[in-house]
Structure 1
């Protein structure tokens, strides 16, 4: 069984940046673009070789969510209307090409998608951790999942995070800045499955900054 790496770059707004980061993270041969939740899952099936190989590292470059004190619907989306991404649960006006964790669960049960035992999934979209999506994904895949609880972007500097792989999760806009002052954690979070307790653990990761943390995506 071959162990595969895969980076998926969302199309639409900022797609050239996403594509460049995907190539930088895993190499051109392991980078793909995704156009919808349906297409994202198709890539997982292809790379898994219908269960004959396993995914050891998956990085999803995409847009996600603005700050909301109530959290968000969970998942990721391409650059454009929030209708056809890969989500925690279905909503009324989703496009037919949207997909959900329940769809991934079916593919895993059928042996069409397989993650390696020690696999890692990283999301670069803003505030992917501000919902139950990462925890439910961990339960489903038993992978380690890493996601931002704040605004996510490559670390500025020379050389920049686009080159070094260092990614910032921090504050953006006034409301989130005020929430951070009141104790909201806006850095990176790591989720892991504990087979002994059958629970998902949550851990703050990365190098702390004044408002957030920096994590090495690659």
Structure 2
């Protein structure tokens, strides 16, 4: 997982829930790395993708990775991402860069038969559309909250609260996308009697996106 912005954080959680054996979470920003859960099988790497190649090679005994997600939106990262996968590996571009003509594929794409897949938020696949995605996301939130609540924990809510606070208070204005699921999450948790970010969290979120009200 290269790029741990809001979308990268969510995809990391989805991969873990889906049973991925090992996840390498890569981002040079230490503050974003700290938002990634410390769980068995998740390797948190505070570095860029180019520097991560050597570390991943050591950890995998040179086998490298089956799938790499590039969620950075930066044109130089695609070529770096192709260096992290094994033969017949897959690189998934989630989203796009503003300058796609500046992207390079990397020297091993043809020789290693690397597949590059592109995914964009406007695409629907076999009926898998935005309402279905939102419903799945909210079901995960509900399941995790009930599990934590039964155990008397609350650590999952605390981690979610940290992520929300980072992207919508600390970095307010720098992440204009991905409002939908996060805004739904805030309102859902408030309905459950929890209060992420304080009593005016929903107003802070919607203030930058009046169309959501």
The TM-score normalised by the length of structure 1 is: 0.33
Instruction: Tell me: higher relative CO, structure 1 or 2? Use CA pairs within 8 A at least 6 residues apart.
Output: 1
Q: What TM-score, normalized by structure 2, do the two folds share?
A: 0.34
Whose strand proportion is higher, 1 or 2?
1
Q: Which has the larger radius of gyration?
A: 2
